[in-house]
Every structure is written in C-alpha cells, then in structure tokens.
Amino acid sequence: MTRISSPFVKQTSFEVEYAPAYITKWRSQRTGLQLTYINQPSPVVNGYFAVATEISDDSGSPHTLEHLIFMGSKKYPYKGLLDTLGNRLYSQTNAWTSTDQTVYTLTTAGWDGFKTLLPIYLDHLFNPTLTDEACLTEVYHVDGNGKEKGVVFSEMQGIQGQSWFETSNQLQKILYAPESGYSSETGGLMAELRHLTNDKIKEFHKSMYRSDNLCVIITGSIDQDELLQIMTDFDAELQELPPVGQQHKRPFVDSKHDEPLTEDIVKVVEFPETDESTGEVLMSWIGPLGDDPVTNTAVDMVGAAFTDSAISLFNKHLVEIDNPYATEIEYHTDDYYRTALNFTCNGVPTGKLNELVNKLKQLIKSQTNPEEFDLLYMRQIINQQRLKFISQTEKSPIAFSNIAILDFIYGKPDGNDLAKWAKNLDEYDELLTWTSDQWCDLIRKYFVDNKCAAVLGTPSRKLNDEVKKQQREFNKNIKAKLGVEGLKQAKEKLTAAHKFNDRPIPEELLVVFAKPDPSKIAFIKTRSYKAGYSKGIVNVHTNQYIESGEFHQKLIQDTPSNFPLFMHFETFKSQFITIQLVMSSTKIQPHLLKYMSIMEEIFTMSIKLPHGEYMPYEQVVADLNRDLIEFQLDNGFNYQFLDLISMSVKCESKKYATAINWIYNLINFVEFEEARIKVILEKILGSLPDKKRNGELMMYSSQFRNLFNDSSLRKQQDSINTEIFFKELLQLINDGEFDTIKRDLEEIKSNLFQLDNIKIIVLGDVSGLDAPVSSWEKLISLKEETQENPIDKVVSSIVPFSQLPRSFQFKSDLGSKCHHEAFLIDMRATESTHLVSVTPIPTDYLHEDVARIALAIEFLCAIEGPFWRSIRGSGLAYGVSMKQNTETGFLSFQLYRASDAKQAWIEARELVKKYASGELAIDALSLENAVASIVNELANAQESSYDSASAKIVDNLFKARGPNYLESYLTQLEQLDANDVKYVLQKYFINLFDAAHSVVFTSLPMEKVEEMGNFFQSRGYNINVEEVNHDGEDEEGEYTSQESSSDNDDDDDDVDVESDNE
C-alpha cells in the first residue's frame, strides 16, 4: 500500500517479550495528538480515547462532560447517533471518569465497523454540541412534580452516602491539598450538581479536550495503514499546536505536586447506616514517583505480601483469627504522578476501628527488622505475581491499554516510557535479587517513616435519621419555592428539552454507513479432544472432537485400561493450563448445601496424608501459592449453571502433574479442624453487615430465597438464608459439639468427590503435556482401594452431561407459578431503588423463541433505544435492562439506581404494551441494528483464546447446541422480523407487568415503601415487606415480614420489572 505523508511520527515500537503483543506509538507533529496501537490478535477491536482531566472542585464537570459528549457533535448534531450507529456497526460505546482521566471506549466486533466509527467518535470528543437542553436532562433538573432528576444526579444519588464513597472522598481531601486535582470528587457531589452550569462545563471542555491532551489507544487485529490514513485525515481537521513557548501545560504533570504528609492524620468519618456493628478503615500514603518501575513493583509486592492470601501478614494476624479485627483487608494503588498506597479494611467491628490502625502500623513496623523479614516468602510472592500478570495479558489486552493510558498522562513526551513499563518484566528479576535489608529499607521509607492518612468509617444511625429528615425538608422546600406556577414552568421546560434532544436521527444518515460483513470477524478457533470413558456421557454429534493426529494418538497411548473418568481437552497457545473438575450438587443432601460456603474455603485448610504427614493450613496455602496461579471451589462453570460445583486450578504447563497432586490431596485428605472452621464462620458472619448495606444484593437475596427451593445452591448459599444456620454452627463449636459439624463436612466431601460425579475439563496448550491422562491414575487407584468393583460401579452410575442438574428444576412453588407476589426490601440507609421483575420462559436452549426473545431485548434495551430514552434519558433510573436466562427459565426486567422506580415501571409497561399491540411500530432499521448488537456481544464473549475455548465447551458440552450453533443462531436472527418481536412481546414480555404472571422484588428507601406497596397492591400483587437490621433490639440480619393481599386485578396502568440474559 502506498503511504501518504502523515504528521504522525513513530515514537516507539516493540514486541512484548512475555505476551503475544506488539506495541507501537505515534505522535502528530502538527497537533500533538497521540496514537498507540497494541497488536494482540482478537476478534474484538477495542478503542480507549483518553483525556487527562484535572479540576480542583467537586462540581462534577469531568463526569457531566463525559455524559454530554454522547449527546451529539456539530457535524452529527443528534443525541444518540454515536450509539445508534454503533449498534449498526457491531460496536458498543462507554466511558469512565476517574480522578485524573476521562476515557471513552469503543468495542467492536472486527475492524470494519471500528474504522467507520472512529472519526465520528473523535468528532464528538472535540466538537460536542453541549446544548443547554442536554445539560438540563443529563445533569440535573426538577420535574413537574418537584422531584430531583437527571442522569448524572441519579447516578451520584445512588452512591453518595454509601460507606465506601464517604470514606474514600474524605481520604482524598486529607491526603491532597485543596487546590490539588487529586482532592476533587470528579463525579460531582449532589449539592454541587444542583448548581453546575452548562457554561462551566463548556469552559472545562475548552481547557482539557485539546488535541495535545488526548491519546487514541487501540487493541486487536486491524489494518495499520488504514488506521494511519484515518488518523491523518482527522488530524488535518484539528487546530495546530501553538508556537513553542506558548504551549498548554500538561494536567497534573505541570501542576504543583503533592508531597507526602508531614504528620500522621486519623479522622473519623461517619456514614448514614442503621446497623452500627461494623465499619471500615482506610489507610493511605503518598508513595514513590510513578516513573520508577522497580520501586513501584516493589511496593506492589509488599502490598501483596501483606494481603494476598490467608497467610499474608495482615490476614494471619488480623483476619484469620478468633474475634477478627476485619473480614477482609485489600491493597491497591492510585497510579498518579506519585503513587498512592492504600489498604482498605472491611467488616471492622466499630469498637476496634481505632485499635486496628495501631495494629496495622505495628505489623508494618515489624517488617523493617531484617531478622523477622521472610525473604523466601517474598520471592514466592514475586514469582506468583509475575505469573498472574502474564496470565492476565493472555486473557485480555486491558493490562496494556492501562499502561498506555498512564504513559499518556504521566510519561515522557518522547514516548520512551511505554517500553519501560510494557516491553519486559526485568523489574521482577531485579527484585528477586533483593536482600532482606533492601526490602526492610523500602518498607521503612514508604510505610513507616512516611506519614499516613487513616479514615475510620463509622456507621451512624443518628446521621442516617438526620440525612433522611434533611432530604424530606429539602423536597418540601423545592415545591414551596417553585409553587404551582414554577412547577408548571419546570415541566414545560423539561418537556421542551426532551423534545429538542429526542429529534429523530434521519435514517439516511445511518444507512449511508454499510453494515459490516459478520463473516469477516476473525473468531478464535480452538481444538477439542476427548479421553477416558465417554460412552453415553457426551454427545459426539454436538462436539467436534479431533480423532487423528499426534495429540490424539498420545491420548490413546496414555489412557490406562478401564480408566473411568471422562476428560475433555481444549487446546490453544498458552503458557498455562487450567483444570476444571465439574460436579453435580445433587450428590449432596439438600440440608447440607448450606455448608458449601465453608467447603469453598477448602484451599485454606490443613491436609493429613495417609502415612501420617500433617500439613497445617499455613503450609498448604504457602505451597499452593508456590505451585499454582489460581485455585478455587465455586458454583457453576464459566459463570453459568450455578447448581453445578467446580474445582478450578491454573498453573504453568510444566506443573500439570503438581496441580493434579494438589487436587488429589485436597479432595481426599483435607482436615476439617475446629479452630479453622470457627475462623471461617466468624469471617462469613462478620461480612454480613456490609452485604446488608447493598440494596441490589439484598434484592437478589430475596429473589433467590423466594423463587428457589431447598435443593438450590442459589437459595442454600444465600447470605441471609444461611445467617441463622452459621450462628447455630458457631454455637455448636462453643458448646463443644464440633464433631457434628465435622461429620456433615466429611459427608459432603465423600459424596461430592465421588469418581462418578467428576468430569474433567483441561484448557490450554495441552498438546505439550507429557502424561495428560495417566497423571490422574493416582486419584482412581485410591478410590479403588475403598470401593468394591469400583470401575464397574463408577461407569454405570456416571451422569451424562445431558442429565446434569438444571437450575429451573429447583424452583420453589412460587418460582414455578410466578404470580401475584411483590417483595419490598426496606433499605433505610439508601437513596435509590433497585427493582427486578421475573416471568417464566422456555428452558430449552434450542427453543425457537430463544432468538426472538434475544432480539426483542436488544430492541427495547439498546443504547438510545425505547427504554433508554424514556427511562434513563428522563432521569427515572441510571440503568434499565432485561435478560433472558434459559437456565433458570426466567425473563427479567431490572431497574438500577432508580430515582423514580414507580414511574419507570409505568413507562416500561406502556412501551411494551404499545409495541406488542402495534400502536408503536417496530422499524426494520432498529431490528437490523439489534442483530448487529448481538453479534458484538457474542464477539466480546470470545475476546481471547481462553474465552473462546470456554464458550465452545459451554455450547457443545453443557448446552448441547453443537459446534455450528453460532452460525445457525446468527442466520436465525437475520431471518426474524417485527412480527417475531411482537409475538414474544405478547407471549412473554407483557407478563412482566402483569401480577397474574410475574413476581417483583425491589429494595428501596424506607420512605418509599408505603407508596410502592400501595402501588403494587393496586396492580394486583400481594405485598411482602422485608426489613433488614433496622431495630437495635432485632437480632442482626433478622427479616420481619408484613403481608397484605389484594384481590384487585386491575393492571391497566403502571408497572416495574427485572432482568437476566444469556
């Protein structure tokens, strides 16, 4: 290809030594615009358009501008054009604003759609319309009823007042000077958003959204010459850099820099909460300059050594003990000009908040003595953290895109810092040579001599009451201040703004851009093999097992005679192997399923080997971290099929046999010890207050407890459902009756890990394994010793994949009937509402309505689609979605952080009714865009080789949809029309808003319970009010229920719903 002259000069270009990636960076000599391309093969092309955003107040200008960018550009002055066109071009847009950056994202299936949208997106960044009408609807307004609304306002209303928000916001203001950009709440405090003007947002855009303050970062498989041509053409439309000496200052880099504190500061920060039992502690230091890879990696290793596992310094002394000081302690950094070093402690008993700060400081100081410093453990941490990082880069390019963003904001203008951070991992090698003295000096410098800011997050019932009272008075004052005429004018002004914003996009402006060819999307292909006993276990017709070639022959030769286990191998290029043992939960008696939260801690328990060797849990954890990268026992496979149980371990390929040996020892010789089980129980119970503060979590808890029966893991592991059970177990231990608990755990272990209940799935570069099958023979030999005719018995009782338990089989009576009940969860310390409504749908993965339902969901929920415009665009809720969950057999509708859930429910119901009846037309272009959006979702789910392999296993083994299902599904979607969508709207979707066919769950502020209860009662629902921890005399976590019923079946008017998709 002939190259044109381009202002983009290559600054750096290098191959990454530890991952399949090649990185190149350019900078325009003409405008200063930067471009970074991370070449990492994937069907998905990701764009990150980063702006360094600095502001020293809490106005929320960076965050509100982020929202307004999507309201149109001067060249394309239509709200939602970017997203509507994105849907058509297999693309999704999004953005985030944090303290020092606003980053706009573009995720596209394939290069064709991405290259079309790229210059249009960039035009929105540099030339937004920023109209007063958009500011009114998106940022803040008062509606005709005197209610405060606005998309950004609703978002911040949903988080302001939460413990994490209040503590982190105050910590920033302690750590950094008032004039520092790092001290600002860039999201915008509600009090500030009420007064933020569009002129101020315009000024912020003018000062920050300059070509020399923006970097375009792209990952995936693209045509590099085409990229440079597109960027060259766009660059020509931008203003040239000012003359030398008159250039703009770089945000943060050219500002006054915050230095470490000169004294320790401890501040009590109250947050509104009715349960005053636990709070949280945040501790932070301003650490090293961000341009030093060795020092920054070193402090990260210290943070990991203090917090990363059950035997880490902090966990060993403060968490994994009787009467713990916290349920969890985490380490993270804020990667600013100087790196901020942070520890967050959750589930801290309020009486121990201040004491915990002193304990942490004492423990840190103990690590400045070389004689007490464990150098061997630190080197183990370094090796493991390096492998974890490499593993992350295999799965996703996001690690590299994050490095590129930080290089743009803080790196040297010549681009050389990018290679320093991304090309190799030499800093890990250097740290492996460090002595104990060097580590102790580092800890002393940055964590002991360096002064610390500590925030004690303290729950306050009194503050909660005051906040509620102030809000009620504020709402009254709004109405009083505006009066009847003012409210009328507010309504008229808002109506006019919506009318202006929602001007239809001319269809010709959309169709001029041809829809890309989906066949050109380069989906990643992996190869499947099977070994062991497979007769009747797996359907060979829904799989593409390779039965020729070198690895196939190796499997045959390596499989011992009468090998009774089924093994599935999925091979692709990787440095790692992932082993999954998939098991059915039905092997466990229903009354024992509540123990699974304890069993999930199996990797932190002691082992007693047959010949008497005893490994205390500390040694088990240490050795596991030495040998493996990841390990867990959890529900499901690939985040689906949640009534299955899987044991998963990940290791370097060379440690395959070692990983199997760990599995062998854990499932056979784990020791259930009283002291360890007691600590686990105390941690689980100690984490409950934090969970109960999460309205969304409590809404789903109610759903699981009411829609599923006692054989369902969803119900039996629910934190509210198990609370009394775990307290009773703790009492048994205190009464000296631990043997009862141990017998139950032994029974679970015995039944869960039977050979006939285990299916083995191995993913990675399996072709290089020396003994892929025979390495498992040890596991089988042990079982043979304890069973009569074990092989015949195992083979005859293996459950085929087609007969594994499905979640819909464990519905409760209410879950099966699904009608007339509404559950309202009273969340007294919250300002926003979460709501979900469910109704039954088919559970056959090959049912003809699966594609129809998926298309209807995309049509309704598309960005700038019907729900988006009428609910999010009107400030009724921050999020609205629908999901199809074939596994549970539920269609759901969900409102996220709703400011007016009742009106949002009404709007959704009316839209569904009108589209179902034909009163509103379902246009062909929107359906075409909806299909394209589904294609993008499918590609995103298979971004890496591991993701692609997992998706293939799900389709072929678990859902039995066959190796060509993706192609047939897309063909089916292309053939659907408006009649198909109307059909499922009438058959399923209307039911979500009909009491005779749905159940509703909503968590909401106390003051809205009565209003919503009356509303849903008038719609024909029986009202169940659940209260979480509101009265001091109530037992912690106890739910009280008030029930009322109504025979009123009138469902003419208003309604709300949940969501679930697959």
Q: Is the pLDDT of residue 576 over 60?
A: yes
pLDDT band of residue 517 (cuts 50, 70, 90) is: confident
pLDDT band of residue 1061 (cuts 50, 70, 90) is: very low
Assess contact for 898 and 877: CB atoms under 8 A: yes
Q: Which residue has the higher pLDDT, 62 or 786?
A: 62
Q: Of all helices (H) and strands (E), which one includes residue 533? A: none
Residues 6+ apart with CB under 8 A from 1053: 906, 909, 1019
pLDDT at 1036: 32
Q: Is the pLDDT of residue 899 over 60?
A: yes
Q: Is the pLDDT of residue 1049 over 70?
A: no
Q: Can you tell me the distance from the alpha carbon of 734 to that of 441, in angstroms, rounded to the nearest whole number?
A: 44
Q: Is the pLDDT of residue 996 over 50?
A: yes
Whole-number CA gyration radius for the chain = 29
pLDDT band of residue 710 (cuts 50, 70, 90) is: very high
Mean pLDDT of 333-357: 97
Mean pLDDT of 915-928: 95
Q: Can you tell me the distance from the alpha carbon of 91 to that of 109, in angstroms, rounded to the nearest whole number?
A: 7
Q: Is 610 exposed, middle or buried (0-12, 13-18, 19+ CB in 10 A)?
A: exposed
Assess contact for 853 and 984: CB atoms under 8 A: yes
Q: Is the pLDDT of residue 407 over 90?
A: yes
pLDDT band of residue 1028 (cuts 50, 70, 90) is: confident
Give the three-class secondary structure for 41. Answer: coil
**What tokens appear for 232 in the block?**
């060259």
Q: For 640-688, what is each residue's pLDDT tens digit?
A: 999 999 999 999 999 999 999 999 999 999 999 999 999 999 999 999 9
DSSP alpha helices (H): ranges in 522-635?
A: 550-558, 596-599, 617-627
Percent helix, strand, coil in the chain (nearest 5)? 50, 20, 30
Residues 6+ apart with CB under 8 A from 525: 948
Nearest-CA neighbor of 993 among 836, 808, 802? 836
Q: Is the pLDDT of residue 98 over 70?
A: yes
Report residue 270: phi and psi, to 5°: -85, 145
- Percent of the residues in the chain that have a pLDDT greater than 90, as a whole number: 85
Q: Of all helices (H) and strands (E), which one includes residue 378? A: helix 375-395
Nearest-CA neighbor of 439 among 368, 498, 541, 345? 368
Assess contact for 336 and 290: CB atoms under 8 A: yes
Nearest-CA neighbor of 212 among 377, 426, 30, 362? 30
Mean pLDDT of 979-997: 98
**Separation of first and last alpha carbons in the chain:** 42
| Amino acid of residue 770 | D
Q: Is the pLDDT of residue 1056 over 70?
A: no
Q: Is the pLDDT of residue 1041 over 50?
A: no
Q: Is the pLDDT of residue 1045 over 50?
A: no
* Beta-bridge partners for 594: none
pLDDT at 782: 65
pLDDT band of residue 795 (cuts 50, 70, 90) is: confident
pLDDT at 790: 57
pLDDT band of residue 1 (cuts 50, 70, 90) is: very low
Q: Is the pLDDT of residue 1048 over 50?
A: no
Q: Can you tell me the distance from the alpha carbon of 250 to that of 403, in angstroms, rounded to the nearest whole number?
A: 18
Nearest-CA neighbor of 70 among 46, 95, 101, 100? 95
DSSP alpha helices (H): ranges in 896-944?
A: 901-917, 924-940
Mean pLDDT of 623-634: 96
Task: State the virtual CA torsion across 227, 231, 232, 235 in degrees, nearest 10.
Answer: 180
Q: Of all helices (H) and strands (E), which one includes residue 52? A: strand 44-52
Task: State the virtual CA torsion across 401, 404, 410, 414 in degrees, nearest 10.
Answer: -170
Half-sphere exposure of 352 (CA within 13 A, CB side): 19
Give the three-class secondary structure for 1002. Answer: strand
Nearest-CA neighbor of 217 among 85, 24, 54? 24
Q: Can you tell me the distance from the alpha carbon of 460 to that of 279, in angstroms, rounded to the nearest whole number?
A: 10
Give the three-class secondary structure for 1005. Answer: coil
Residues 6+ apart with CB under 8 A from 276: 350, 459, 460, 461
Give the domains, in start order, of the chain with CATH numbers.
8-250+500-511 (3.30.830.10), 527-671+752-807 (3.30.830), 818-1044 (3.30.830.10)
Nearest-CA neighbor of 97 among 105, 86, 87? 105
pLDDT band of residue 3 (cuts 50, 70, 90) is: low
pLDDT band of residue 783 (cuts 50, 70, 90) is: low
Q: Of all helices (H) and strands (E), which one includes residue 1010? A: helix 1006-1018
Q: What is the DSSP letter of 256?
A: P
Q: What is the DSSP letter of 132?
A: H
Assess contact for 973 and 928: CB atoms under 8 A: no
Place of tokens 């088990």: 620
* Beta-bridge partners for 141: 149
Neighbours of 432 (CB within 10 A): 12
Q: For 191-203, what is each residue's pLDDT tens digit?
A: 999 999 999 999 9
| Amino acid of residue 421 | W
Q: Of all helices (H) and strands (E), which one includes residue 530? A: strand 527-532
Mean pLDDT of 620-625: 96
pLDDT at 1031: 43
pLDDT at 546: 94
Q: Rank 81-85, 339-343, 864-868 by mean pLDDT and report only the highest.
A: 339-343
Q: For 116-136, what is each residue's pLDDT tens digit?
A: 999 999 999 999 999 999 999
Q: State how beta strands 821-826 and 1022-1028 pair.
A: parallel
Q: Can you tell me the distance from the alpha carbon of 531 to that of 558, in angstroms, rounded to the nearest whole number?
A: 9
Q: Can you tell me the distance from the alpha carbon of 841 to that of 988, in angstroms, rounded to the nearest whole number?
A: 7
Q: Can you tell me the distance from the alpha carbon of 483 to that of 877, in angstroms, rounded to the nearest whole number?
A: 26
Q: Is the pLDDT of residue 1030 over 50?
A: no
pLDDT at 784: 56
Q: For 20-36, what is each residue's pLDDT tens digit?
A: 999 999 999 999 999 99
**What tokens appear for 213 in the block?**
């303050």
Assess contact for 538 and 612: CB atoms under 8 A: no
Q: State how beta strands 8-15 and 22-28 pair.
A: antiparallel
pLDDT at 442: 98
Q: Is the pLDDT of residue 788 over 60?
A: no
pLDDT band of residue 515 (cuts 50, 70, 90) is: confident
Neighbours of 96 (CB within 10 A): 12
DSSP alpha helices (H): ranges in 632-757?
A: 656-669, 674-686, 688-692, 695-707, 713-716, 723-734, 738-752
Q: For 205-249, what is each residue's pLDDT tens digit?
A: 999 999 999 999 999 999 999 999 999 999 999 999 988 777 889
**What tokens appear for 721 in the block?**
């459902």
Q: Is the pLDDT of residue 297 over 60?
A: yes
- Percent of the residues in the chain that have a pLDDT greater than 70, as a whole number: 95
Q: Can you tell me the distance from the alpha carbon of 449 to that of 455, in angstroms, rounded to the nearest whole number?
A: 19
Q: Can you tell me the distance from the alpha carbon of 117 to that of 109, in angstroms, rounded to the nearest whole number?
A: 12
Mean of the per-residue pLDDT values of the chain: 92
